Amino acid sequence: MALLMKTDTDRGPWWRDEFHKALPDLEFRLFPETGSLGDIEFALVWKPPHGFLATLPRLRAIFSLGAGVDHLLDDPRLPARVPVVRLVDVQLTRQMTEYAVMHVLRLHRNGPQYEEQQRRRVWREVPQKQTGERRVGVMGVGEIGGSIARALAGLGFDVAGWSRRPRPLPGVAGFAGREQLPAFLARSEIVVCVLPLTPQTADILDARAFAAMPRGGYVINIGRGRLLVETDLLDALAAGQLAGAVLDVFRKEPLPADSPLWSHPAVTVTPHTAAMTDPRSAVAQVVDNIRLIRAGQAPLNAIDPRAGY
Amino acid sequence: MALLMKTDTDRGPWWRDEFHKALPDLEFRLFPETGSLGDIEFALVWKPPHGFLATLPRLRAIFSLGAGVDHLLDDPRLPARVPVVRLVDVQLTRQMTEYAVMHVLRLHRNGPQYEEQQRRRVWREVPQKQTGERRVGVMGVGEIGGSIARALAGLGFDVAGWSRRPRPLPGVAGFAGREQLPAFLARSEIVVCVLPLTPQTADILDARAFAAMPRGGYVINIGRGRLLVETDLLDALAAGQLAGAVLDVFRKEPLPADSPLWSHPAVTVTPHTAAMTDPRSAVAQVVDNIRLIRAGQAPLNAIDPRAGY
């Protein structure tokens, strides 16, 4: 009985060591060295080739190597009877929260303006809003977005959350559903997007969304690249409707070298590193779920395939 | 009976309005329009000319227009019998905490490396320490430094504090006195300095301090410019002993246009704006103290002139 892992990174051996320490009787295989497909009970994967998981006759669970599962659900031959499990990793949530807090603070505290002044050797105070006057909106308030909204509210920001269905959070103004999206956007000077990618959320950050925001606002996208229409973003920046953007995810990754986003003075680009799955904290969760499944129980954090997250 | 204000900013009229709302019977005067010196009971000042406060015969309290009082205590003719009161402003503490958290997060999350990669259009993950492995040291753990240390510990950093006398903080490793300074520096990859400037702390961040830190560390100075020896900092950066610095305060302010700090690729310069005193939140504190003094009581947050803070 074996676990097959597929990662886009070169950290497979690190994962192998962590699994060996946690569950020595589990055979660990690293894609594409699959060995006999009939031995594979568990798959821990990032972007498996379409149709591949359907070739594993004894598969008992599919673990996503990340919080999002869109890279699995877009496989038309995904085995319907096998549970798909997301990673709900405290370190991953912490890193996403750090990234969001860091960039919200930089924009709130006029970081771009002060960086430009430093280049020109200008010593001048930039008018500063109080924290409680700064309206931040978090799109997606599940495990990760909820942590971000709580952290920002704890720092004193005026925070709202938007989600498909109402999800009340203490100290956070709640908006839900498509009909409340314009009101949510209209009050949010800085929008942090951590939505899952589903047919309902694809392209949600488009020209219409940017136009609904206060003029001179900022967008931080750390969900998935296909949530945001990059050409609409560039137009909104050119028109001054948006003052800037922070992007960790892109429609095509790696971001192509000829993308205008790389050199745009108002855009911060990071290479999908807002959070990096860490074997030391993630293996324990996969191992716990393997033990549950072996004991005939349902795994934790299995997704609802109809909702898409 | 009047309050005389001296500010380096152009926001005097804003302060006048706030005082008028809070204490309509207080006459507000803005330096250098002092009027009759014998009417002045209260001074709210930033860097008054040496000897000037000694010319006010009926002065009952000197309020510093900021958390630091070094700009008052360096006046050799400062009236000894008049209490000197610091501003302990919740907004000021919040802003200093925001600034420190923002820059610690940027350094922790390899912001400089990712910014450099963006300029070169490079898509590459930079190895990332876990938050709990990142050792941050806060120099000065009073009102502001204590808030910073607590916020960083709350985010999961491994935080130590250093102060002249022991000041225990929950979740923060405590170091005190000159004899424990080397051990404190040796464990601190990122040093945040918010010390008051006194004869004991002047030049405390010098070549010896930088050499005591782990190689490749960072210094964030938001206390006073004279706490840090700028030429020693440039030498430590050139030698690679330090990897970077974030400076909000300087030995000479405004920072002269020919300072090499402006264009140093590893140095972030901001124009003494880590915190900006806000009349809306600060006036209430001054007014409360005026009421106490008029009632014959001692003002809150009066400093100990011998300690210098």
**pLDDT digits 0-9 by tens, A55-97:** 999 999 999 998 889 999 999 999 999 999 998 878 889 999 9
Which residues 245-284 in chain B show a CB within 8 A of chain A? 253-255, 257, 262-263, 268-271, 273, 276, 278
Q: In the prediction, which pLDDT does A279 show? A: 80
Our measurement of the distance from residue A115's CA atom to the centroid of its chain's CA atoms, rounded to an integer in Å, reads 27
Type of residue found at A261: L
Our measurement of the distance from residue A35's CA atom to the centroid of its chain's CA atoms, rounded to an integer in Å, reads 32
Q: Which of B92, B99, B109 to mutate to test the interface with A (most CBs of A within 10 A)?
A: B109
d(CA A269, CA A263): 9
**pLDDT digits 0-9 by tens, B112-160:** 999 999 999 999 999 899 999 999 999 999 999 999 999 999 999 999 9
**pLDDT digits 0-9 by tens, B245-287:** 999 999 999 999 999 999 999 999 999 999 988 787 789 999 9
**A4: closest CA of chain B, how far (Å):** 24
Asked if A160 and A154 count as a contact pair (C-beta separation under 8 A), the reply is no
The ipTM value here is: 0.87
Catalytic annotation on B264?
no
Q: Examine the pLDDT at A159 and tell me if it is beyond 80.
A: yes
d(CA A46, CA A34): 15
**B134: closest CA of chain A, how far (Å):** 13
Which residues 217-236 in chain B show a CB within 8 A of chain A? none
d(CA A292, CA B75): 72
**pLDDT digits 0-9 by tens, A23-62:** 999 999 999 999 999 999 999 999 999 999 999 999 999 9
Angle at CA of residue B240, ends B268 and B117, nearest 5°: 55
Residue B123 touches chain A, beta carbons under 8 Å: yes
Asked if A293 and A67 count as a contact pair (C-beta separation under 8 A), the reply is no
